[in-house]
Amino acid sequence: MGNPLPKAFFARPAELVAPELIGCLLVKRQEGVALLWGVLVETEANSQEEPACHGYRRRTPSNETLFGEPGRFYVYVSYGIHHCVNVVTHRADWANGVLLRAAAIPGEPERVAAGPALLARRFGIDRSRDAQLVDPDRGLWIAPRPPELAGLGAADLTQTSRIGISQGQELSWRWYLRASRSVSRRARGDRQPPALVTAAPP
DNA sequence: TTCACGATTCTA
DNA sequence: AGAATCGTGAAG
């Protein structure tokens, strides 16, 4: 879990990175407590050339990080109240990133991090993390898929349109792990999978 | 300085 | 389906 994704992983277009991030682990090191980690189960891609992207209109102090080098967190405030966490991708001077929309945290309620703002809240991520490197040395990073999830493929994911945007609906740039109950919102017709049975009856 | 709006969430 | 809630960016 200490091994982070290599920097080159993020130096690709967001729509390539986003689906590959599913199954990876978001990990946070905290003072005096065990590592906090969760499996990423839902992501969205965003890119400068389309209107749903924060960098579509102009480069400003608040979206500056999105235009920076890949491999950093871009954290923004949503609706004045919530925080949302992105990972910057592709290359510098081109707004491109992946929104981390949901994570499944072992041993915790299924939906504590089911949604971008809930994920940010549970991991205690706010604007102070903006522009910070995705790196174990900074205490917050992303680890590759663990062995048991290494076999994840397109067949395990649902690809659909993004959530909460008015423009850019035609792009199917949201991906989620179908087997997970920690997904923020399922595509139409996709039934919620059964809960995992963790304990055998006596 | 002011105003309208939003990559959301919670409740009914 | 609708409200809450406030940081931003564009307008004045």
Strand C contacted by A60 CB (< 7 A): yes
Q: Which two tokens stand for residue A181?
A: 């109950």
* Contact flag, residue A44 CB and nucleic strand B, below 7 A: yes
Question: pLDDT 10s digit of each residue in chain A, 202 long?
Answer: 878 899 999 999 999 999 999 999 999 999 999 999 999 999 999 999 888 899 998 899 899 999 999 999 999 999 989 999 999 999 999 999 999 999 999 999 999 999 999 999 999 999 999 999 999 999 999 999 999 999 999 999 999 999 988 888 888 999 999 999 999 999 988 988 987 765 544 4
Among A29, A30, A38, which Cα is nearest to A2's? Answer: A29
β A82-88/A157-160 pair status: unpaired
Q: Tell me how far apart the alpha carbons of residues A44 and A172 are, in angstroms, rounded to a whole number.
A: 9
Nucleotide nearest to A163 (CA to C1'): B7
Q: For CA atoms A123, A126, A130, A136, give the dihedral sign.
A: negative
* Residue type (1 letter), A7: K
* Nucleotides in chain C near protein beta carbons (<7 Å): 4-10
Please state whether strand B lies within 7 Å of residue A75 at its CB atom.
no
Q: What is the DSSP pairing of strand A96-104 with strand A25-28?
A: unpaired
Considering only CA atoms, name the residue closest to the C1' of nucleotide B9. A117
Give the nucleotide at minimum CA-to-C1' distance from A54: B7
Q: List the beta strands (DSSP E) in A48-107.
A: 73-78, 82-88, 96-104
Window 95-124 of chain A: CB closer than 7 A to strand B: 97, 99, 115-119
Give yes or no for CB of A13 within 7 Å of strand B. Answer: no
